[in-house]
Chain A
Amino acid sequence: MNGIIDISWEGLAVSTVFVLLAGVTSLTLRLGLEKDLLWGALRTVAQLYLMGFVLRYVFGFDAWYLVCSVYVIMIALAAVIVKGRVKRPLVRFVAPVFFSMLLSYLVVTMLVTSVIVRVKPWYDPVYFIPLGGMVIGNSISAVALALERLFEELRLRRDEIELRLCLGASAAQASATVFRSAVRAGMIPSISSMMGVGIVWIPGMMTGQILAGASPLAAVKYQIVVMFMLVGATTVSTVMMVTLVRRKCFTDDERLIRR
């Protein structure tokens, strides 16, 4: 491997031509997107550079608790993003979401680095953070979907749920169909992405590895592992999360709460 060709500052400057082109288009066609374009372009540069510096710093960590702390912060940020995505929640859910993601993603990522990729040590941040980060990034929308489905169905199917309660069902029995539907909603995106991968798009991770000089076949193995770990991690986290959040939607004496 020769490593990746570093893009020169001049080259980077030239790439702004693409954004300028969009800006000129917006002005001539009076699309009103100039401000958003400028703001978006500035944020792209700032956010990515910030991330670059943080990663350069984090990649110097050589203690497992430091690496894991970074990962925990990443998951906490993801839980906050999920909070913003879910419309009309019935109960507060950030804590259960954080807890479910934390447990499942941590275990899955540790398994992948230690048993599958066999990085030594398993917490090597160069592997742990990007692999774990990919699971977080790719599962945020699935987690939000599962929660949204849960709240929506609890609202729409109140009559059904209360009918079952009236016939002596427990809260879990009364909401079993809702539970299944929410877990399904959370699992489907990662399953569908297994169907589409490699046909219509080269995943970002493979692109990166190929550019960095890895053989496409080595990159494929990584991508397969990532897809599989995504399926496993979202399954475990969705089931945990939906279980915890559903419990919060019922009172101790098994009534569906109202909001």
Chain B
Amino acid sequence: MIEVRSVTFSYGECPVLTDVSFAVHRGDFAVLRGESGSGKSTLLRLMCKLETPTTGCVFYEGIPYDEIPPRLLRRKAALLQQSPVMVEETVRDNLLLSFRFARSKMKSIEDRELRALLTRARLDHALLLKHAGELSMGQKQRIAFLRLLLMDPEVFLLDEPVSGLDEESTDALIGWLVELNTLGKTVFLVSHTASGLIPPGARLFRLENGHVMEEK
């Protein structure tokens, strides 16, 4: 689904990734572990084209990233940023943000459906019309996940998606991801503390000293 081939990346003079090669297949649930600062976030940014490799190439279903329109790619391989950013006033407008950028149909989603999603994410459904700036970190993180979910991507690239969540919410989110995975979505999750996040059958990768290797 996404293949990273011989990718090297540096910020200016500072090398972050050296000769990284690995592939995530359609329907995979993959977890990438590594120390903070090891380049996990950079790797995710490369996988959704917020950065381009210094050398090497990334492929989406065999097509080099250079040949895919960036907006199309980012809608298919969607990144959940590490820090949840709210840009609109209300929770509702934040949830519906991706529809504003969609070229064709302004898909209409009823508030009832949005409330159901909030409840599913263990959030109070009354939050929908609240000011997003007033939410806690953990709440924002879940709103950001729902926002991504509503865009309906094929691959979920998740950067520390549970770092602000308590144990129960973490379990709920991972359970949800597993369900999405069984429905055919590909999940690529990055974390520095991955204990408790790894469902059975998940593929494990480790990023160390700029290299990625698969753990058995």
Contact = CB atoms under 8 A, between A and B. Distances in A.
Contacts of A159: 81, 83, 85
A255 B51 contact: yes
Contacts of A258: 11
Given A166-B79, A169-B100, 15 more contacts: A159-B83, A162-B81, A164-B101, A166-B81, A167-B74, A168-B71, A168-B75, A169-B71, A169-B101, A170-B101, A173-B101, A253-B70, A255-B50, A255-B52, A258-B11
B98 interface: yes
A166 B52 contact: no
A34 interface: no
Residue among A177, A251, A253, A258 facing the most chain B CB atoms (10 A cut-off): A253
Interface residues of B, number: 25
Nearest to A159: B85
A255 B70 contact: yes
Interface string A227-251: 0000000000000000000000001
Contacts of A255: 49-52, 70
A188 B75 CA distance: 38
Interface residues of A, number: 18
Given A253-B52, A254-B70, A255-B52, A168 B102 contact: yes
Interface of B: 11, 48-52, 66, 70-71, 74-75, 78-79, 81, 83, 85, 87, 97-98, 100-102, 147-148, 151
A160 B144 CA distance: 12
B87 A254 contact: no
B79 to A, nearest CB: 5
Nearest to A258: B11
A163 B71 contact: no
A143 B66 CA distance: 36
Contacts of B50: 162, 165-166, 255
Contacts of A253: 49, 52, 66, 70
A257 to B, nearest CB: 11
Contacts of B147: 167
